[in-house]
Amino acid sequence: MEHAFGGPWTEDKLRRVDKYLEAYMTIFTRNETASKLGTYYLDAFAGTGRIASAVAEDRVEGSLFEDALEDDDTNYLKEGSAYVALRQENQFDNYVFIDRSREHAASLDRLRHEFPDLADRITIEVADANDFLQKWCRNTNWKSNRAVVFLDPYGMQVDWATIEAIARTKAVDLWLLFPLGQAVNRLLTRKRLPEAAHAERLTRMFGTESWREAFYRTPEKESDALMLFDNEEAVLEKQANFDSIGAFFVKRLKTIFPGVAEKPLPLKNSTNVPLYLLCFAAANPVGAPTAVKIANHILKP
Ligand SMILES: C[S@@+](CC[C@H](N)C(=O)[O-])C[C@H]1O[C@@H](n2cnc3c(N)ncnc32)[C@H](O)[C@@H]1O
């Protein structure tokens, strides 16, 4: 089963995560101390393993189909994150794929046949990403294990409590899609604070109420303020933009991780809207400087 989403930015995102996994496993294979540790790749919004990429289809149309099948690059574009992780030359000791969709999990299960040598190392769970991750972070022995976690939700599904659980491990490198234009900016209504359910969702994602002061202000023109005066809560207007929302989230990450990539990569749609920010944070204080250096290089536009 393939599932279709995204555009060229989907491909870009996976290429960059792919590069990180390659660099990570090179270190964990070659470095004597690191090679003694167990390694996990955990994909908590794992999808199906495959994606139907519009870009891939364009390429196939533009060339002979037989040639396209031979062309690694074209095939590569059809691989989802789980597939990208499994086909690393230096393999992880464990692969954990989570998806709340039973159908997607059944598709993921087929990866065991495509990678028979890794079948025993693969765990697939139908679960909510937040529930699973918080338990997994608590119950894994982080003295003897390290992990890369990839969080690739469609929207605002990741709770701050989950990000905190990841930071507390002091052992996980986190790649995360922050839904900047896809969700957050849209919930931040222009002339008033977001409605209660949306405000609550924003607080759950940022782990603080302080987004209110960061993203809203009293209107500069007194007349605008008076116009809205009948509803006290409404005497506020949005001052946030894509840059300030992104900067706020990076600042939040920096409150709990020893290493954070300062400039996450905007993944833009065809009309140049930054749908997501590809963010990176490292929880291990010893490894963080190297991890962030590699991630910064990979995140260059
Ligand atoms: C953007 S897709 C992931 C794509 C995947 N990373 C890839 O490259 O192929 C998001 C996935 O998250 C799953 N999902 C949505 N909400 C979830 C949740 N709360 N917990 C776990 N999985 C969830 C969806 O079923 C979907 O398969």
| CATH number for position 21 | 3.40.50.150
Closest ligand 1 atom to Cα of 177:
1
Residue 16 belongs to some domain of the structure: yes
CA of 26 to the centre of ligand 1 (A): 27
The pLDDT, as a whole number, for residue 33 is: 94
pLDDT tens sequence across 10-55: 889 999 999 999 999 999 999 999 999 999 999 999 999 987 544 4
Q: Are 132 and 31 members of one domain?
A: yes
Q: Are residues 195 and 102 in the same domain?
A: no
Q: Is the pLDDT of residue 77 over 50?
A: no
Exposure of 236 by Cβ count < 10 A (0-12 exposed, 13-18 middle, 19+ buried)? buried
**Mean pLDDT, the chain, whole residue set:** 89
Report if residue 1 sits inside a domain.
no
Assess whether pLDDT exceeds 50 at residue 213. yes
E strand or H helix at 264? none
Minimum CA distance residue for ligand 1 atom 12 = 45
- The answer to whether residues 89 and 163 belong to one domain is yes
pLDDT in tens, 243-261: 999 999 999 999 999 999 9
What does DSSP say about strands 38-43 and 274-282: parallel, antiparallel, or unpaired? unpaired
Protein residue with its CA nearest to atom 4 in ligand 1: 47
Task: Tell whether 75 is covered by a domain.
Answer: yes
Same domain, 270 and 211: no
User: Are 103 and 210 contained in the same domain?
Assistant: no
What domain range includes position 214?
A: 189-239
Beta-carbon contacts of 16 under 8 Å, excluding residues fewer than 6 positions away, are 265, 278, 298, 299
H-run or E-run covering 289: helix 288-298
Residue 140 lies in a domain: yes
| 20 in the same domain as 140 | yes
Instruction: Evaluate: CB of 171 within 6 angstroms of ligand 1.
Output: no
Q: For residues 104-118, give the mean pLDDT.
A: 95
pLDDT band at 300 (very low <50, low <70, confident <90, very high): very high
Written as six digits, the tokens of 276 are: 């997501």
215 and 72 in one domain? no
Cα–Cα dist 214/240, whole Å: 7
Distance CA 109, CA 82 (A): 11
**159 and 88 together in one domain:** yes
Looking at the structure, do residues 234 and 116 belong to the same domain, yes or no? no
Atom of ligand 1 nearest to the CA of 152: 6
User: Is any ligand 1 atom within 6 A of the Cβ of residue 168?
Assistant: no
Cα–Cα separations (whole angstroms), residue 91 to 2, 46, 212, 221:
24, 18, 44, 60
Taking residues 46-74, report their average pLDDT.
51
First to last CA, the chain: 32
Residue 200 belongs to some domain of the structure: yes
CA angle 187, 188, 189 (to 5 degrees): 95
Are both 194 and 130 inside the same structural domain? no
Q: Which of 100, 130, 159 to mutate to test the pocket of ligand 1 (most atoms within 8 A of CB)?
A: 100
Do 118 and 14 lie in one domain? The reply is: yes
For residue 270, is it within any domain? yes
Q: How many structural domains are present in the chain?
A: 2
Gap between the Cα atoms of 19 and 24, Å rounded: 9
Q: What angle do CA 227, 241, 258 make, to 5 degrees?
A: 130
The token duo for 289 is 């400087």
Residues 6+ apart with CB under 8 A from 10: 51, 53, 267
211 pLDDT exceeds 80? yes
Predicted local distance difference test score (pLDDT) of residue 61: 38
The proportion of the chain whose per-residue pLDDT surpasses 90, expressed as a percent, equals 79
Is the residue at 252 inside a domain?
no
Mean pLDDT calculated for residue range 216-230: 65
Q: Which atom of ligand 1 is nearest to the CA of 49?
A: 9
Burial class of residue 196 (count of CB atoms within 10 Å of its CB; 0-12, 13-18, 19+): exposed
How many angstroms does the Cα of residue 249 sit away from the middle of ligand 1?
A: 21
> Lowest mean pLDDT: which of 213-222, 252-261, 273-282?
213-222
Enter the pTM of the model.
0.90
| 42, 91 contact by CB (below 8 A) | no
Q: Is residue 248 part of a domain?
A: no
Torsion angle, alpha carbons of 56, 148, 278, 213, to 10: 150
User: Does residue 53 share a domain with residue 202?
Assistant: no
Mean pLDDT score, 103-113: 95
Q: Ligand 1 pocket, 201 CB below 6 A?
A: no
